[in-house]
């Protein structure tokens, strides 16, 4: 699903998320491990107020592993629970369950102290489009997990999914918009495929990727395309275009095709494991 984020849509998404937030004890925020800061929603922190949050860095199989570790450390240093996962790895999903259990325990302890019988803790998944929300929900809901049916929500009935004995998860994620304001953020999100391909010209996105790789991952350019550096980006497009057969009649380079090749190589990690942001 791709969403055009007009002001009306943003207001609606914000309203929906803040209503659902009233129903849960904590939030599982998904970000992309390749660009965790750019892929967080700019307004979530404000919406959460003092609701506990855990950060799940998705798609760690596509990101630079040592930088991903730095990010997890960074969040933990700031007092947040954080974990990096590959959604298709069962042990990774199990770790999310364990962490969620830990986060939910807090609420249980408070209820107990008030003499209220403990209940399953409740959580919801939140994130920007394409970050992996549906995938993680599906992985959490394997055959060991059962639907627990309707429970009254604030404005309408909500479906809850029981995740083992550990907690209950709202069956629909909260979808919030990505950051728009900063051009650099836009290029990072376009590179990893989180914002619509039509928003930025693909030649520009491909050029952004090449320039970034040359600066940070020159050895990957060498391994994939057989050159490490270039002075003029047109030479890089030309080189890759000829190597990969992105030519028009007359032997001219088809820039759109070369751009597609570069973007797809990056997004599929055929170029290698690349992260676009490091924690400060």
Ligand X SMILES: Nc1nc2c(ncn2[C@@H]2O[C@H](COP(=O)(O)OP(=O)(O)OP(=O)(O)O)[C@@H](O)[C@H]2O)c(=O)[nH]1
> Can you give the binding site for ligand X, defined by CB under 6 A?
1, 58-59, 61-62, 86-87, 127, 129-135, 175
The β-bridge partners of 58 are 32
Q: For ligand X, give the closer residue by CB, 192 or 261.
A: 192
CB of 1 vs ligand X, minimal distance in Å = 4
CB of 58 vs ligand X, minimal distance in Å = 5
CB of 132 vs Mg ion, minimal distance in Å = 8
CB of 139 vs ligand X, minimal distance in Å = 9
**Distance between CA atoms of residues 29 and 39, nearest Å:** 10
**Distance between CA atoms of residues 134 and 132, nearest Å:** 6
Q: For ligand X, give the closer residue by CB, 92 or 240.
A: 92
The entry of Mg ion, ligand X, none near residue 38 (CB within 5 to 8 angstroms by kind) is: none
Q: Are strands 121-127 and 81-84 parallel, antiparallel or unpaired?
A: unpaired
**Distance between CA atoms of residues 23 and 14, nearest Å:** 15
The β-bridge partners of 109 are none
Q: For ligand X, give the closer residue by CB, 3 or 145.
A: 3
Three-state secondary-structure class, residue 65: helix
Provide CB contacts within 8 A for 164, sequence distance 6+: 97, 144, 145
**Distance between CA atoms of residues 44 and 111, nearest Å:** 26
The entry of Mg ion, ligand X, none near residue 53 (CB within 5 to 8 angstroms by kind) is: none
CB of 86 vs ligand X, minimal distance in Å = 4
> Nearest-CB residue to Mg ion?
134
Where do contacts with Mg ion occur on this chain (CB under 5 A)? 133-134
Q: For ligand X, give the closer residue by CB, 77 or 138.
A: 138
Q: For ligand X, give the closer residue by CB, 61 or 260.
A: 61
Ramachandran area for residue 113 (φ above 0: left; ψ -120 to 50: alpha; else beta): alpha
The entry of Mg ion, ligand X, none near residue 131 (CB within 5 to 8 angstroms by kind) is: ligand X
Distance of CA 117 to the CA centre of its chain: 36
Q: For Mg ion, give the closer residue by CB, 173 or 241.
A: 173
Rounded-to-10 torsion of CA 231, 233, 235, 236? 110
CB of 134 vs Mg ion, minimal distance in Å = 3
The entry of Mg ion, ligand X, none near residue 61 (CB within 5 to 8 angstroms by kind) is: ligand X
């Amino acid at each position: 699903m791709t969403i055009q984020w007009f002001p009306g849509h943003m207001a609606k998404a914000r309203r929906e998320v803040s209503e659902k937030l009233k129903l849960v004890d904590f939030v599982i925020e998904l970000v992309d491990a390749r660009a965790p800061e750019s892929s967080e929603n700019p307004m979530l922190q404000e919406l959460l107020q003092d609701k506990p949050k855990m950060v799940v860095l998705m798609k760690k199989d596509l990101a630079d592993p040592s930088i991903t570790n730095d990010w997890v450390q960074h969040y933990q240093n700031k007092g947040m629970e954080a974990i990096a996962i590959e959604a298709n790895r069962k042990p990774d999903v199990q770790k999310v369950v364990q962490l969620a259990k830990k986060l939910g325990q807090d609420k249980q302890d408070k209820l107990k102290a008030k003499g209220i019988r403990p209940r399953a803790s409740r959580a919801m998944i939140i994130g920007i489009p394409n970050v992996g929300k549906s995938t993680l929900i599906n992985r959490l809901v394997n055959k060991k997990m059962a639907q627990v049916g309707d429970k009254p929500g604030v404005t309408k009935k909500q479906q809850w999914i029981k995740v083992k004995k550990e907690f209950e998860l709202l069956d629909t994620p909260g979808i919030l918009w990505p950051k728009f304001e900063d051009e650099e953020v836009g290029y990072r999100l376009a590179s990893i495929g989180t914002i619509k391909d039509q928003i930025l010209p693909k030649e520009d996105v491909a050029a952004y990727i090449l320039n970034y790789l040359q600066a940070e991952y020159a050895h990957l350019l060498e391994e994939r395309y057989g050159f490490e550096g270039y002075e003029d980006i047109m030479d890089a497009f030309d080189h890759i275009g000829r190597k990969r057969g992105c030519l028009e009649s007359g032997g001219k380079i088809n820039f759109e095709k070369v751009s597609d090749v570069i973007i797809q190589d990056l997004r599929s990690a055929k170029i290698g494991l690349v992260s676009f942001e490091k924690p400060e």
